[in-house]
Amino acid sequence: MIALVLFVVLIALIMLGVPVGFALGGATIIIMQFFTKLDLSMVASYSVTGVDSLTMMAIPFFILSGVVMSVGGLARRLVDVAASLVGWMMGGLGAVVSLASMFFGAISGSSLATVSCIGGIMVPEMQKKGYDLGYSAVFTACAGTIGAVIPPSIPLVVYGVCTSTSIGDLFLGGIFPGVMIGIALIISNYIVCKKKGYVGAERKSGREILKAVWEAKWALFAPVIILGDIYSGIFTPTEASVVSVVYSTIVALFIYKEITWKDLYNAIVGAAVTNGTTTFLLGLSTAFAALLSFEQIPSMLTNAIINFTDNKFLFLMLVNVILLVIGCFIDNIPATTILAPMLLPAMNAFGVDPVTFGVFMTMNLLIGLVTPPYGCSLFVASAVCKVKMEDMLKNIAIPLATLIICLLLTTYIPWFTTWFL
């Protein structure tokens, strides 16, 4: 009964337009006050302890690092490297978008940052070469999902905090799925472009490729520092995020010299505002999760699912469908904070590794970023590329199907996410 009332109140608040963070807090307070004997001070207590985490500090630093890299010339040089490597292929500019998203994702950890940055650079070039603007924008939005799967991934950090799963293991688990999405999008783009006659650019010589790589060496070295130091045990993910900010700032300010101190200040302010929203949400989601735990709602959900089916294949398909639908209406971070603690016990009961669950849950919810009505990446791409939403949706079928195929492969082939165990 309490579980039903809790989710009815939460959904009602969200449908009324209440921000998700306030809706979580409001639903928790209402249920605690009128349906339980729990002390309301628990909301404040758990909200504070939920964000009083060293791991949580990685989020604002990765956000800031991604902003500095996008405006400081690092992203443009990564695009140049991608263009020199795959720009000659049929539909080469689309392949460049996918490969550049992989490069940029490895230093930003954000889907929206990847879409905004890579889209702003590549879509005008694609339009000059005769690419359909709607296809260019929607393909860039889909490629942007790589940014939040391939490490370092901000959604995976959030999942790790909510479920006490190793951030390092989650980062390792995201490598193959992220690369798989990038390669799969290159293949699907080739098929579309061959049908539409979008040819590639002139093939670069070995000397030109080496020149592009040399000019981008400082940008290419960034993921080596971030990920290499995490996996070698030199830094924790939080320490690596700080090193990433320092490194990107030094490169952008003193080596590439493409940003000013004022630009850096604006980047810090923007990252602080974004992180303020995320921190508020995560704090109240911790109190919400505590209420779920006290009322044994995750255990009830696990038992209900097991009673419904004991078939692991069907169970995973059911969870994927639920997550895909929810991702269409709620952003990936609040959805993760609400659903991860609830579904994890059921995953454990079916023998699904927490790392595998974290990665395919993130992929599910990121697909929601390119699916109406929420479709945040679509709106970002629409704004950056100055294209109507309906023109984008006409071209979404093949890129979206590609993402779903990658999702199913990740879900049903655990090796992709647990190869290092």
Q: What is the average per-residue pLDDT within 217-225?
A: 83
Name which of 19-33, 187-201, 316-330, 373-387 the model is least confident about.
373-387
In whole numbers, what is the pLDDT of the chain averaged over residues? 83
Q: Count Cβ neighbours within 10 Å for each residue of 17-35 and write b for 16 or more, e otherwise.
A: ebebbebbbbbbbebbeee
DSSP-derived secondary structure for 349-400: HTT--HHHHHHHHHHHHHHGGGSTTT-HHHHHHHHHHT--HHHHHTT-HHHH
Q: Count Cβ neighbours within 10 Å for each residue of 63-101 and write b for 16 or more, e otherwise.
A: bbbbbbbbbbbbbbbbbbbbbbbbbebbbbbbbbbbbbb
| pLDDT for 361 | 93
Instruction: Read off the DSSP letter of residue 53.
Output: -
Question: Is the per-residue pLDDT at 328 higher than 90?
Answer: no
DSSP-derived secondary structure for 161-230: HHHT--HHHHHHHHHHHHHHHHHHHHHHHHHHHHHHT----PPPPHHHHHHHHHHTHHHHHHHHHHHHHH
Give the Cα separation of 344 and 301 in Å (integer).
10
Q: Which residue has the higher pLDDT, 411 or 57?
A: 411
Instruction: List pLDDT tens digits, range 224-261.
Output: 877 777 777 787 777 888 888 898 889 888 888 888 88
Would you say how long the chain is, in residues? 421
| pLDDT for 46 | 80
Vertex 53: Cα angle to 51 and 59 (nearest 5): 75
245 contacts: CB under 8 Å, gap ≥ 6: 61, 64, 65, 68
Give the torsion sign (CA, 222, 226, 229, 235): positive
Question: Is the per-residue pLDDT at 180 higher than 70?
Answer: yes
Instruction: Assess contact for 366 and 410: CB atoms under 8 A.
Output: no
User: Residue 129: how many CB atoms within 10 A of its CB?
Assistant: 14
Residue 276, burial from CB neighbour count under 10 angstroms (0-12, 13-18, 19+) = exposed
- Residue 183 banded pLDDT, cuts 50, 70, 90: very high
Place of tokens 């799967």: 149
* Phi-psi category of residue 351: left, alpha or beta, with phi > 0 → left and psi -120 to 50 → alpha: left
| pLDDT for 374 | 64
Name which of 23-32, 74-83, 254-263, 377-386 the model is least confident about.
377-386
Q: Count Cβ neighbours within 10 Å for each residue of 36-58 and write b for 16 or more, e otherwise.
A: eebeeebbeebbeebbeeebbbb
- Residue 184 banded pLDDT, cuts 50, 70, 90: very high
Which of 129, 125, 87, 121 is CA-nearest to residue 104?
A: 121
Instruction: List pLDDT tens digits, range 26-61.
Output: 888 888 888 888 788 888 888 787 777 777 777 778
Give the Cα separation of 200 and 198 in Å (integer).
7
The three-state (H, E, C) secondary structure of 261-307, written as one string = HHHHHHHHHHHHHHHHHHHHHHHHHHHHHHHHHHCCHHHHHHHHHHH
Give the Cα separation of 284 and 305 in Å (integer).
27
Instruction: List pLDDT tens digits, range 263-304.
Output: 888 888 877 877 777 777 777 777 877 787 777 777 777 777
- Residue 354 banded pLDDT, cuts 50, 70, 90: very high
DSSP-derived secondary structure for 66-78: HHHHHHTTHHHHH
Place of tokens 């608040």: 13
Task: Look up the pTM and report it.
Answer: 0.80
- Residue 373 banded pLDDT, cuts 50, 70, 90: low
| pLDDT for 404 | 93
Q: What is the average per-residue pLDDT within 141-153?
A: 85
Question: Is the per-residue pLDDT at 75 higher than 90?
Answer: no
Which of 278, 207, 255, 235 is CA-nearest to residue 68?
A: 255
Instruction: Read off the DSSP letter of residue 310.
Output: -
